[in-house]
Amino acid sequence: MKEIINKIEKLYPISDFKQQNDKTALLTVEQDKAVDLLIYMQKFEGFKHLAILTAVDWIENNQFQLSYIINNPELKMDLILRVFIDREKAEMTSIHNLWEQAATYQRELKEMFGINFPNSPRVDKPFILEGWDGLPPYRRDFDTKKYSEDTYFPREGRTKNNPVEYMKQKLYPDE
């Protein structure tokens, strides 16, 4: 893996490199270089498989972190490529032309985080949340408690329990 990273460092400005183990590494690249680096890894370094594309909401830094986990099946190596994008202008170039399954990941990230991937197939079609028009629910500023209280009505026969007292009763009924 170190040989591959040495080649990458000569071609792309990377940061936060961390060797997880012999077969897994993590690095960060700037948003405008990410797709070029993914193309390079696929075409020249044998990383033929996109294992996952996911996101993290760093609300404190006003950023989303996109993590592309790519795999070289011949060398049995994984590379985690992190890209930070602005939360206010949450948009990233689509990679559906590199890996067909990326379109599904991008569609999910659009719906759940509000991250746009222009020109990605069906990115604006509902994925899971048909008819949803509120704040994307995986954003950290989405208030799940308020949503539940506003959406679901109290049902007869339901009781609220103090979790500490409830567990004491269940674990130690004779005390």
The pLDDT value recorded for residue 158 is 77
The pLDDT value recorded for residue 161 is 83
Identify whether 170 is part of a domain.
no
The pLDDT value recorded for residue 151 is 87
92 has pLDDT over 90? yes
Bridge partners of 116, per DSSP, are 91
Identify whether 98 is part of a domain.
yes
Residue 21: which CATH number? 3.30.460.80
Q: Is 36 left (phi over 0), alpha (psi -120 to 50) or beta?
A: alpha
Q: Average pLDDT in the 79-84 region?
A: 98
Q: Average pLDDT in the 16-41 region?
A: 96
Identify whether 173 is part of a domain.
no
Task: Tell me the whole-structure pTM to 2 decimals.
Answer: 0.85
Cβ atoms of 90 and 63 closer than 8 Å: no
Identify whether 13 is part of a domain.
yes
Average pLDDT over all residues of the chain: 94
Range of the domain at 131: 2-154
Q: What is the tens place of the pLDDT at every residue in 139-167?
A: 999 999 899 888 888 778 877 888 899 89
Identify whether 160 is part of a domain.
no
Q: What is the tens place of the pLDDT at every residue in 103-119?
A: 999 999 999 999 999 99
Identify whether 159 is part of a domain.
no
The pLDDT value recorded for residue 69 is 98
Of 40, 2, 38, the C-alpha closest to 19 is 2
Q: Of 13-27, 70-84, 140-154, where does mean pLDDT reach its minimum?
A: 140-154
The structural domain count of the chain equals 1
Q: Average pLDDT in the 111-129 region?
A: 95
Identify whether 12 is part of a domain.
yes
More confident: 74 or 175: 74
Identify whether 140 is part of a domain.
yes
